[in-house]
Each structure stands twice: as C-alpha cells, then as structure tokens.
C-alpha cells in the first residue's frame, strides 16, 4: 500500500510538473494543441468522407501516412545508438542521456502507430488485429509481425523509463536485475522493429523497387543517422535551458557515429542505383521515376535530388572533425540529415515503390492538404508526448523532483543527480550530493 | 393485486437474469467463437445473412437476397481469355459493373482492358488502359483485359494481417467485407492491380442494384474496405457463367472446371498456346491467356 501511495504521489507530482512552466513552454504546448486540433478536424472529415479526401488511389494505394510511419519507426529504433554504448560498453558520457533516447523512442512509436491508424479504411475495426479478441494472421503476415514488435518495443521502453524515473523519484537505486535484461532485450527489439518494417516492403515481389534485399540494412543505416540527428539538437536545447549536464564529448561521439551511419546509407543507395542503372532492366522505371521522372511525370524529381544533396552535405559535415565540433555546422548537419532521410525514406520509398503501378500506369501522387493536416496533427501528438515526458524526466534526473522534496521546495538547493555508475559496477542511478 | 405485483417483480428479476445470461453467452460466443464470416457455423452465418438481406432491402428499396452457396465439391474453376479474339470493346467491364454492384461514383472497375502495341507484345510498361477509340479494334493494337488472376500461390492472402481474405476450395479468392480493416497491404502485394479500395461510400443509382447477391461476392460493400473480382461467385457456384463470359460478343472468354478432363478449359490448356501474366512471380494464376487463332 505504501508503494501504491508513493506511486500515486509520483503520478500526481508528474502531472503537477506538466502544468507548471514558463511562458515559452505554454506557447509551445498551445501551438502543439492547435496543430492536434487541426489534425483531428481533418481526420474527422477523412473518416466521414472516406480516404477519397487523400490523394491515394488504387494505383498508389499508400502515400504520405505510410511514408511517415516508416520514417518514425527508424527514429524509434535509433534509440539503440545510445543504449548500446551506454549499457554494453559502459561509456559514461552517453549513459547520462540514454533516458532521453528512450523517451524519444516512446514518442516515435506513438506517432508511427498513429500513422498506421489514420491510414486504415476502417479504424473502427482495428481490434480485428488483436490476437484472441480478433484474428491475427501470424506468422504469415509481416504486418502482424510489425504490430507485435512495435507494441512490445513500446511496452519495454515505457516499463524501463517508468521504473528508472519512479525509483529516482523515490530516491532509490533502480533494480538492476529488472532493468538490465529489459535494456538488453530492447537492443535486438530496436533492430527488429526496423528490420520487420523493411521486410514488410521487401517481401512484395509485385513491387521490384522494394523487393531488394538491400532494403533492411539500408533502413537501419538511415535510421541510425536520422534518429540521433533529432537527439543532438534536443540535447543542446536541454543543455541550454536546463541544468542538465551533457558533455561535449558525448555530442561529438554521437556525431561521429552518425557520419559512419550516413556513409553506409549513401553507399547502400549507391549500390542499389548501380545495379538498377547498369543492368537497366524494366525494373529501372521505378528508380527513374524518382531521379529523372518518367514520360514527363517529374513531380518527385526535385525531392529526390534535395534528399541526395542533404545527405551528402550531412556526411561531409560530420566526417570532418572541425565541422562536427563547431556548433553551427553540427546543427546544420543535423537538420540536413533529418530532412534528407525524411524525404528519402518517406516519399522516396513509398511513392516510387508504387509508381508506375503493377500494370504500368503512372499516377502522380502528391499529398492533399487534408493529409498534410492529419500528419501535422500526428507529429504534434508525438511532440506533445515527448515534451510532457521530458518535463517530468529532466527534473527527476536532476534530483529536483523527489518524493521527500516536492518541486516547490528545492529551487535554490544544489542539484542532485543522475550520476553515472563507476566503471565496472554495472549500472546504478544514485543520488549524490555534490 | 398484491401477489400479482410480487409475481411481476419476480418475473422481471427472472427476465433480467436470463437476459444477462443470454448477453454473457452471446458475448462469450462472439469473443471466443469464430469471427470471420467464412469460419462461422452455417446456422450463425444464416442469421447474419438474414440481417444483411433486411438491411439491403431497406436501403435499396428492392428485395435483396444474399446467398451463402458453398464451393461445389470436385470443382476448381479456371478461366481462359483468347487474346487473338478480344477486340477491346469493354462490354465485359460494364457487364461486370452491373452484375457485381460496383460503385458508379467513384467508378470502380474490376476488369481493366489494356491496349497494347502489336510491335511490343505484352508489355505493361507501354500499355494504355484509357484508350478512347471511335472503333475497336484499332490498327496495330491488341487488347489484354486484366482482372483478378485467382492465383494458387496468392501474395494477397499471405499479407492480410487479419486473415480477411482467403482462397476458397474452388479456387476463388474471396474477401470478408465485414472483417477487412482497409489497410491495403493486399493491394501493395497484388502484382495484377486486381484489388480495389472503396475510397468513399460506393454509390449505386436507384433501381440499378442487382438483387441476387452472394455474401462473399456482389453484396453491397461499405466504405473503407477492399474488393475484387470473384468470378461472379453468385453465378458460378450456382452453375452459371460469369457475366463477362456471357456478354463477350466475340466469344473470347472461356470458363470451366479445371478438374473435369472433358471441360472446354482443359481442352484449351492442353491444345492451345497458353500463357499466364508475370509467370516469374510464381503466383500460379488460374487465369490463362491464349492465342486461339
């Protein structure tokens, strides 16, 4: 019962934290809420009129929503870029910020699942997927696999984060026997969610553009560059606006890892482009539609080359030590990576995969305002979730929010911290007074 | 009066108890029992079908029947289309629309007639589904109508996350419109563009509904689900030809039982130059194209 009371204090305190903040915080939250409202309104139209309000048709039956879903699964998977060095190699500077990565993963999974939900024609029947209550075509359907691994990954991350934060709130160390196995499990799961998502496309022989075995490795490579790009910007914001200590060496290390991931991504794309153009079979048409346009249909071409240039720029900025240590070029690189991978893995994967269609017809897809509004709403939900989670996690990690000292009391006291464990002694989240 | 009131109260309580029990049993049956129409025991399916008939009759103002005719034992259907005869008149397309209650607005067509160049042969990359001609066939062109190829090795049923589509024993690929969630994964998986989505509420003008329907075939569909050619399951399981076979003015379309050695379809497969579309994908279609002349 004491645990229960303590936990309800934790929940109530967390909600309290979310409801307090400076003007900037409220402006940010209000903007997100407005975007969510606009998205909900657009979605209501979509549900009542049908998916005809989107630009999707029988020829291009998936579009912007599924593109965003794919991109966000990658962002969620990228949390392991932080988890692996932190927990496996005990690399201290990254260890401190790993919780931020896990919160990002949770928000990204929320968004990716919402993108699937807004894409289906009968959202009222989504329960048909639930094993037991519904009928899940497992193990034959890769979509069934995806639903399973995404939910599992989501639950594991929520459990780990809640446990660590609650224990820190109670001023206790977290339970190693509980956390370590789950964290170790989340590493293959993260690789798993993205591999399964790649296989979802990869397994379709009807779509030669997707039916290439390079797809899964290329998904992982692009995820491991785009996920950290968001984190790097975020960590700098945290360092600026809170007392969260983030070492420069951690940021530089992540940027370096991103350079390797981006190199691999570009290399795998190059390998695929070589195969298509050199062999020049009828399958080349999909790649041509993306890079050059086909029979005068050139809607996607500017996007294709923007993505290539952004990715190349990001790679160069991150591979040169001077530019990855300069904060301006570092952030430019992050934005370039994020935008480049977003285009390449969203529209760049889905649209040429379906254009021309299986009977050779070219239908030029371009999202409608409704689709953009719904998508913006989903992103706003994700950012809102992330903001609220950070609002709780940061004070706890800084030792400002604990059961024995509720937030009002400690404004002036010294920070207590999320202290990295001494090397060798596995992991512990200790309270220490500086 | 007093005892009656008590009795009434007692009755009410008993009624309440039996209603609760019935509701609980109903819930258990739904929760643990079969969910997809094609898994249902016959009597439960019949009940649901009676509800469908009532709803459609009310909605369309005409007496609609929904059949649940099962596959005929010993029958596996196959289709053959004579490419050298087809003139590209698209009569099959519109006969199909009327027979199968396809949406008129937005237009849904289960058959897509592709105009191809004789010079290039069967080449989807240069096919034109939107040809407009004063007179068909046009010179230097030939026509390839494409609908569901009713594969044996079906990419579409494999990917369906809820198992809402399957191959029936007579070889027809069917969809449970009440179980489909509209994710459109099957549409991405189909190599023949045979699956169509109801992007909005399908509309059929008053008086144009074909009231003879089958629960896995041409009964009215809701918005947001996938549909496809079922070889006129409402006709063929009752021993008739599909509408497209009947309407074809040049006799290019042949249909029959693959398991019957005396059937016309077997004769064609054994004696003509037969091909299937995209054989490299190993989908094993039961829809054959042939050159009759």
- CATH number for the domain that contains residue B144: 3.30.70.20
Between A434 and A246, name the one with better pLDDT: A246
Nearest CA distance, B260 vs chain A (angstrom): 32
CA distances from A70 to A243, A301, B44 (A): 34, 21, 41
Chains A, B: CB pairs < 8 Å: 141
What average pLDDT does this structure show over A102-130?
95
pLDDT per position as a tens digit, A382-424: 999 999 999 999 888 888 888 776 544 343 333 344 443 333 3
Cβ of B193 within 8 Å of Cβ of A358? The answer is yes
Name every chain A residue with its beta carbon within 8 A of the beta carbon of B127: 359-361
Residue B11: per-residue pLDDT: 62
**Closest to A206 (Cβ–Cβ): which among B31, B191, B196?**
B191
Residue B1: per-residue pLDDT: 44
Q: Is residue B56 domain-resident?
A: no
In B, residues 36-75, which contact A (CB 8 Å cutoff)? 36
In A, residues 161-220, which contact B (CB 8 Å cutoff)? 200-201, 203-207
Residue B10: per-residue pLDDT: 53
Q: Could you tell me the maximum CA-CA distance found in chain A, to the nearest angstrom?
A: 71
Between A235 and B255, name the one with better pLDDT: B255
Confidence of residue A203 (pLDDT cuts 50, 70, 90): very high
Confidence of residue A426 (pLDDT cuts 50, 70, 90): very low
pLDDT per position as a tens digit, A271-288: 999 999 999 999 999 999
Residue A421: per-residue pLDDT: 38
Per-residue pLDDT at A198 exceeds 90: yes
**Kind plus residue range of the DSSP H or E element containing A240:** helix A215-241
Residue A315: per-residue pLDDT: 95
Q: Is residue B82 domain-resident?
A: yes
What average pLDDT does this structure show over A73-95?
77
**Tally of residues, chain B:** 293
Question: Does residue A424 sit at the B interface (CB-CB below 8 Å)?
Answer: no
Question: Does residue B122 sit at the A interface (CB-CB below 8 Å)?
Answer: no
Residue B122: per-residue pLDDT: 94
Reduce the DSSP state of residue A5 to 3 states and report it: helix
Name every chain A residue with its beta carbon within 8 A of the beta carbon of B123: 360
Confidence of residue A1 (pLDDT cuts 50, 70, 90): low
Confidence of residue A107 (pLDDT cuts 50, 70, 90): very high
Residue A23: per-residue pLDDT: 92
pLDDT per position as a tens digit, A319-373: 999 998 998 999 999 999 999 999 999 999 999 999 999 999 999 999 999 999 9
Report yes or no: B111 and A345 within 8 Å, Cβ to Cβ: no
Report yes or no: A350 and A62 within 8 Å, Cβ to Cβ: yes
Residue A414: per-residue pLDDT: 37
Name every chain B residue with its beta carbon within 8 A of the beta carbon of A125: 179-182
Report yes or no: A133 and B147 within 8 Å, Cβ to Cβ: no
Residue B29: per-residue pLDDT: 59
Query: H-type helices in A346-368, by residue range?
Result: 347-354
Name every chain A residue with its beta carbon within 8 A of the beta carbon of B187: 58, 61
Report yes or no: A346 and A64 within 8 Å, Cβ to Cβ: yes
Residue A47's Cβ-count burial label (10 Å; 0-12, 13-18, 19+) is middle
**Closest to A359 (Cβ–Cβ): which among B127, B163, B226?**
B127
Residue A416: per-residue pLDDT: 40
pLDDT per position as a tens digit, A141-158: 999 999 999 999 999 999
Residue B63's Cβ-count burial label (10 Å; 0-12, 13-18, 19+) is exposed
Per-residue pLDDT at A84 exceeds 90: no
Residue A234: per-residue pLDDT: 85
- CA gap A168, A395 in Å, rounded: 10
Instruction: Share the mean pLDDT of chain A.
Output: 88
Q: Is residue B69 domain-resident?
A: no
Per the structure block, which two tokens stand in for A266? Answer: 């570009």
Whole-complex ipTM: 0.89
In B, residues 184-243, which contact A (CB 8 Å cutoff)? 184-185, 187-193, 195-201, 222-226
Residue A180: per-residue pLDDT: 84
Confidence of residue B15 (pLDDT cuts 50, 70, 90): confident
Q: Best residue in B199, B229, B277, B282 to probe A by mutation, most A CBs within 10 Å?
A: B199
CA distances from A376 to A69, A75, A346, A383, B125 (A): 13, 17, 14, 10, 36
**Closest to B159 (Cβ–Cβ): which among A62, A142, A282?**
A142
- CA gap A288, A306 in Å, rounded: 16
What average pLDDT does this structure show over A49-78?
96
Per-residue pLDDT at A253 exceeds 90: no
Q: Is residue B1 domain-resident?
A: no
Per-residue pLDDT at B260 exceeds 80: yes
**Closest to A360 (Cβ–Cβ): which among B127, B196, B201?**
B127
Q: Is residue B59 domain-resident?
A: no
**Closest to B191 (Cβ–Cβ): which among A122, A140, A358?**
A358
What average pLDDT does this structure show over B65-82?
97
The total domain count for chain B is 1
Q: Best residue in B121, B161, B180, B229 to probe A by mutation, most A CBs within 10 Å?
A: B161
Lowest mean pLDDT across A1-10, A57-66, A214-223, B1-10: B1-10
Per the structure block, which two tokens stand in for B184? Answer: 């459109």
Q: Is residue B52 domain-resident?
A: no
**Closest to A125 (Cβ–Cβ): which among B181, B189, B281?**
B181
Confidence of residue A235 (pLDDT cuts 50, 70, 90): confident
In A, residues 394-413, which contact B (CB 8 Å cutoff)? none
- CA gap B252, B257 in Å, rounded: 17
In A, residues 94-133, which contact B (CB 8 Å cutoff)? 116, 119-122, 125-126, 128-129, 133
- CA gap B186, B158 in Å, rounded: 8
Question: Does residue A362 sit at the B interface (CB-CB below 8 Å)?
Answer: no
What average pLDDT does this structure show over B178-187?
97
Nearest CA distance, B8 vs chain A (angstrom): 38
What average pLDDT does this structure show over A95-111?
88
Nearest chain A residue to B155, by CA: A204
Cβ of A136 within 8 Å of Cβ of B155? The answer is no
Residue B88 lies in domain: 77-291
Please count the CA atoms within 13 angstroms of the CA of B116 that sit on its side-chain side: 21
Phi-psi region at B33: left, alpha or beta (left = phi > 0; alpha = psi -120 to 50) = beta
Rg of chain A over all Cα atoms, to the nearest angstrom: 22
Question: Does residue B131 sit at the A interface (CB-CB below 8 Å)?
Answer: no
- Percent of chain A topping pLDDT 90: 64
Task: Assign domain A13-404 to its CATH superfamily.
Answer: Formate dehydrogenase/DMSO reductase domain (1.20.1630.10)
- CA gap A242, A180 in Å, rounded: 28
Nearest chain A residue to B33, by CA: A133
Residue A93: per-residue pLDDT: 72
Q: CB neighbours (10 Å) of residue A133?
A: 13
């Amino acid at each position: 019962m004491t645990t229960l009371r303590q936990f309800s204090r934790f929940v109530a305190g967390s909600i309290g934290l979310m409801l307090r903040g400076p003007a900037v915080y409220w402006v940010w939250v209000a903007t997100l809420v407005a975007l969510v409202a606009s998205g909900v309104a657009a979605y209501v139209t979509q549900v009542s009129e049908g998916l005809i309000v989107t630009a999707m048709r029988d020829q291009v039956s998936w579009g912007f929503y599924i593109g965003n879903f794919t991109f966000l699964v990658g962002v969620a998977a990228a949390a392991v870029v932080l988890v692996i060095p932190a927990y496996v190699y005990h690399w201290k500077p990254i260890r401190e910020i790993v919780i931020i990565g896990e919160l990002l993963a949770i928000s990204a999974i929320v968004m990716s699942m919402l993108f699937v939900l807004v894409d289906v024609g009968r959202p009222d029947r989504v329960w048909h997927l639930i094993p037991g209550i519904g009928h899940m075509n497992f193990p034959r359907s890769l979509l069934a696999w995806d639903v399973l691994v995404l939910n599992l990954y989501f639950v594991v991350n929520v459990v780990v984060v809640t446990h660590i934060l609650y224990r820190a709130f109670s001023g206790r160390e977290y339970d190693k026997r509980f956390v370590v196995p789950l964290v170790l499990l989340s590493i293959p799961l993260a690789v798993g969610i993205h591999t399964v998502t790649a296989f979802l496309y990869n397994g379709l022989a009807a779509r030669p553009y997707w039916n290439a075995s390079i797809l899964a490795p290329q998904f992982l490579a692009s995820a491991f560059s785009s996920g950290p790009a968001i984190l790097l910007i975020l960590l700098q914001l945290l360092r600026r606006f809170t007392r969260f200590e983030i070492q420069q060496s951690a940021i530089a290390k992540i940027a370096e890892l991103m350079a390797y991931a981006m190199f691999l991504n570009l290399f795998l794309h190059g390998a695929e482009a070589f195969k298509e153009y050199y062999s020049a079979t009828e399958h080349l048409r999909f790649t041509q539609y993306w890079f050059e346009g086909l029979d005068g249909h050139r809607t996607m071409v500017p996007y294709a080359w923007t993505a290539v240039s952004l990715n190349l720029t990001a790679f160069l900025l991150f591979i040169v030590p001077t530019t990855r240590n300069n904060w301006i070029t570092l952030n430019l690189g992050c934005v370039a990576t994020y935008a480049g991978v977003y285009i390449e893995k969203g529209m760049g994967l889905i649209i040429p995969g379906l254009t021309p269609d299986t009977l050779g017809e070219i239908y030029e897809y371009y999202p409608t305002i409704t689709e953009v509004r719904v998508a913006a709403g989903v992103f706003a939900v994700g950012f809102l979730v992330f903001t609220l989670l950070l609002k709780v996690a940061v004070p706890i990690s800084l030792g400002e929010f604990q059961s024995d000292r509720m937030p009002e009391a400690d404004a002036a006291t010294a920070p207590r911290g999320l202290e990295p464990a001494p090397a060798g002694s596995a992991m512990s989240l200790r309270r220490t007074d500086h | 009066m007093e005892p009656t009131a008590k009795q009434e109260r007692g009755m009410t309580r008993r009624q309440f108890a039996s209603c609760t029990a019935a509701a609980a049993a109903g819930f258990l049956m739904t929760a643990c029992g079969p969910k997809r129409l094609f898994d249902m025991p016959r009597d439960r399916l019949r009940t649901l079908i009676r509800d469908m008939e009532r709803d459609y009759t009310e909605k369309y103002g005409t007496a609609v029947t929904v059949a649940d005719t099962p596959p005929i034992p010993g029958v596996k259907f196959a289709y053959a289309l004579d490419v050298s005869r087809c003139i590209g008149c698209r009569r099959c397309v519109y006969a199909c629309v009327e027979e199968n209650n396809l949406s008129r607005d937005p237009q849904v067509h289960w058959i897509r007639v592709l105009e191809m160049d004789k010079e290039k042969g069967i080449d989807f990359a240069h096919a034109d589904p939107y040809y407009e001609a004063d007179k068909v066939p046009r010179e230097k062109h030939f026509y390839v109508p494409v609908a569901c190829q009713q594969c044996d090795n079906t990419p579409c049923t494999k990917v369906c996350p809820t198992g809402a589509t399957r191959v029936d024993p007579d070889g027809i690929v069917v969809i449970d419109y009440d179980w489909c969630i509209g994710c459109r994964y099957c549409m991405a998986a189909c190599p023949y563009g045979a699956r169509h989505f109801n992007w909005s509420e399908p509309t059929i003008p008053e008086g144009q509904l074909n009231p003879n329907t089958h629960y896995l075939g041409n009964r009215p569909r809701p918005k947001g689900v996938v549909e496809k050619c079922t070889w006129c399951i409402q006709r063929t399981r009752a021993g008739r030809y599909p509408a497209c076979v009947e309407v074809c003015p040049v006799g290019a379309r042949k249909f029959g039982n693959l398991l019957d050695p005396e059937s016309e379809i077997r004769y064609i497969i054994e004696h003509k130059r037969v091909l299937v579309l995209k054989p490299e994908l190993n989908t094993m279609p039961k829809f054959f194209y042939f050159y009759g002349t």
